[in-house]
Structure 1
Amino acid sequence: MKIYTKKGDDGSTGLLFGGRVDKDAIQIELNGAVDETQAALGLARAFSASSELSQLCIYLERDLWVLMAEVATSSENRSKLVAKKTMVDASMVAKLEEEIDRISALFDMPREFVIPGGSPSSAFLDWARVTARRAERISLPYVRQNKDTEVGRYLNRLSDLLWTMARWQDGQILRTRDIEEGV
């Protein structure tokens, strides 16, 4: 099987369940930003020694496949979507909120502005956060068109979770340094 099909040479791309749109269509722009978020999560995972962080990143990366499947479906085919498999549902948003609460309990929240880059994994989590925020902004026309979607809410909570995860990783590094320095 070849990676190239040549079908997109005309500036269009295929959608899930059929149909084609221009490569600069809003849903393709949105999926591009989400794809960047997913890649940044992979980098955070690759630069972390924490198996807990790695497992959470993999979970989120898989969630983002679901989100991208929904977005890559034409309006006419939305009835074919399946919750948590090809469509984001409210329970996926609730799971992000649970993770934010769980991780927030592991460290003291910063009381001032945070400068990204406290550790490699936190820097990549912050990168994932800003791409998720961009995806959220890009999603607005999609969300307005698809009133039943949870995509906007999901991206909003995801960026909050990514910020929380980055601060958690910063806290892990700071605690390790304190221990090493005998503080």
Structure 2
Amino acid sequence: MRIYTRKGDDGTTGLYFGGRVAKDSALPTAYGTVDEAQAFIGLARAEAEPGSELDQLLVAIERDLWVLMADLATDETNRAKLVAGETLVTDAMVASLERRIDDLSARFTMPSEFVVPGGNRVAAALDVARTVVRRAERDSLAAAAPGSRVVAYLNRLSDLLWTMARWQEGDSLTARAVAPLAGEAEKGA
């Protein structure tokens, strides 16, 4: 089997369960950005200790994103073929993210000021993934079918990734002082 099919050479792409759309239309734009987010989550996972709690959480999220991409890659005429939790994002998937946010948030003191990303490599990778998830959320507004839970899932996922980044910064989060802007430092002198 070859990886290339040449079918997309005309600027179209196939949808899940059939049909074709232009590659720059709302559906492939949205699930393409989710695919990009999944890759950045994989980059964060590469920074995690193999088998760690963080590694396991990120694998679960990456698997959820396959479900989300299938949901976004399905034409409205074929949505009845989607299976909850396998190819269709569910309320339970969104609720699971909320439980993870609550669990992790209870493990550290939330920052009281804006966070400067880059406390460590894994936190920085999680923050990059978070920003791509936010873009995927914006792109999905034009693509998600009425009643879809895709946008809600992406909204919670970005919150979870922010929380995970702070969790991974651990003690370094509270130990780091937020550096003043150059102009503010000069004002105080």
Q: What's the TM-score once normalised by structure 2's chain length? A: 0.89
Partner of residue 152, structure 1: 151
Q: Does 1:98 align with 2:99?
A: yes
- Paired with 2:141 and 2:128, the residues of 1 have a C-alpha distance of 21
Aligned residue identity for 2:73: A
Give matches, 1:165-180, under 5 Å.
Answer: 165-171=164-170
**Match status 1:2 vs 2:2:** yes
Report how many aligned residue pairs link the two structures. 175
Check conservation: 1:48, 1:120, Cα contact below 8 A. no
1:1-183 alignment to 2 at 5 Å? 1-49=1-49, 51-143=52-144, 146-171=145-170
Per-residue deviation, residues 100-148 of structure 1 (Å, max 9, x unmatched):
00000111111111111111111110011000100111111223xx222
* Letter matched to residue 129 of structure 1: R
Identity %: 60
Gaps of at least 5 residues in structure 2 are 177-189
Partners of 2:166 and 2:173 within 8 A in 1: no
Does 115-124 or 164-173 show the bigger shift?
164-173
Give the AA of the match of 2:97.
L
Q: Deviations over 1:25-60 (max 9, x none)?
A: 111011111111101111111112261000000000
Q: Deviations over 1:152-177 (max 9, x none)?
A: 100100000000000001116569x9
CA–CA separation in structure 2 for the residues paired with 1:173 and 1:40: 23
Query: Structure 1: any 5+ residue segments left out of the alignment?
Result: 178-183
Rounded Cα–Cα distance in structure 1 between residues aligned with 2:16 and 2:119: 39
Q: Relative to structure 1, is the Cα distance of residues 172 and 16 closer, same or farther in structure 2, using a 3 angstrom cutoff?
A: farther
Question: Which stretches of structure 1, 4 residues or more, deviate above 6 A after TM superposition?
Answer: none
- Kindly indicate whether the alpha-carbon contact (under 8 Å) linking 1:40 and 1:128 is maintained by their aligned counterparts in 2: yes
> Deviations along 1:39-93, whole A, 9 cap, x unmatched?
1111111112261000000000000000000100111000000000000010000
Greater gyration radius: 2
Name the Cα RMSD after superposition: 1.7
The one-letter amino acid of 1:96's match is L
Cα distance, 1:14 vs structure 2: 0.6
Asked if the contact 1:122/1:167 (under 8 Å) is kept, the reply is: yes
* Distance in 1 (alpha carbons) for counterparts of 2:73 and 2:97: 22
TM-score by length of 1: 0.91
1:70–1:86 Cα contact (<8 Å) kept: yes
SS in 2 for 1:86: coil
